[in-house]
Amino acid sequence: MKLKNIHIWLFFVVMLMFSSACHTEYCRENMYIQAVLKLYNYQSQSQPVNISGVSVYTMDINGNYFAKLPIDTVTSTLRLVLNPESDTSRYRIVSNYINNEELVVVHKNTPEFVSAECGCRVKSIIDTAYVANLSFQDSISIVNHIVDDVYENENIQIFLRIGE
């Protein structure tokens, strides 16, 4: 290689310098950590029940509501946002076939600093889940204990005695 090619070499160095200066700084991670809950009729466990009339509220130990949680009626999925500051999350489930049931989820939290662009999120591992009033409930099952940014697997299944 000849020394006169040094100018071409320098040109590439300078071009690469400027190309590396141009990058965007935004968060590429899913920062919403939610447990997936589905309701089933205990007699037909393959299909979740329609949840179009279901509402779920976060609440404190005294029964005071904080906020209504989002639900996905297309996939009949309730998305439980666990309490990031406590190891117990309490919810009020309201619908025409669930009479103000109180769902309690006991979990262990792991706070995580994802990056400077994203900030913090809290992942959890579910220990226990139960429904305080058993009026319509047949049973409850924790299918997947890990609550993270992947929503593919259901975390909790509740089987209801409805339509009898």
Partner 1 sequence: MRMRIFRYFCVLVSSLVLVNSAVNAAGTDFETWNKTESKKLYGFSVYADLVGPVMTIVSDKVADFSVGADVDLYHAAYPTFEMGYSAYDATEDYHYALLQPEDYSYKCSGTYYKIGVKFNMLNGYRSKKTIPMLYLGAKFAFSPSHFEIDNVALSNEFWNLDKSVSVDGKGVVKWAEFAFGVRYPVSKHLFLSLEGDLKEFATKKAFDGDIKGGGKMSVHQTYSPGYGDINGGHWSVKYTLGLFIPTKEVKGKK
Binding residues for partner 1, rule: CB under 8 A, are 1, 3, 5-7, 9-10, 12-14, 16-23, 25-27, 58, 66-67, 69, 81, 83-85, 110-120, 122
Structure tokens at 67: 């906020």
In the complex, the smallest distance separating the C-beta of residue 45 from partner 1, rounded to whole angstroms, is 29
In the complex, the smallest distance separating the C-beta of residue 73 from partner 1, rounded to whole angstroms, is 19
Whose Cβ is closer to partner 1: residue 119's or residue 163's? 119
Cβ neighbour number for residue 19 with a 10 Å cutoff: 9
Annotate 48-99 with DSSP letters as a single string: EPP-TT-EEEEE-TT--EEEEPPEETTTTEEEE---TT-SEEEEEEE-SSS-
In the complex, the smallest distance separating the C-beta of residue 156 from partner 1, rounded to whole angstroms, is 17
Whose Cβ is closer to partner 1: residue 121's or residue 137's? 121
Whose Cβ is closer to partner 1: residue 85's or residue 152's? 85
Whose Cβ is closer to partner 1: residue 74's or residue 116's? 116
Closest CA to 56 of 74, 42, 36: 36
Whose Cβ is closer to partner 1: residue 8's or residue 164's? 8
In the complex, the smallest distance separating the C-beta of residue 4 from partner 1, rounded to whole angstroms, is 11
In the complex, the smallest distance separating the C-beta of residue 20 from partner 1, rounded to whole angstroms, is 3
Give the integer Cα–Cα distance in Å for 27 and 161: 43
Pairing of strands 101-115, 119-131: antiparallel
8 Å CB contact between 44 and 35: no
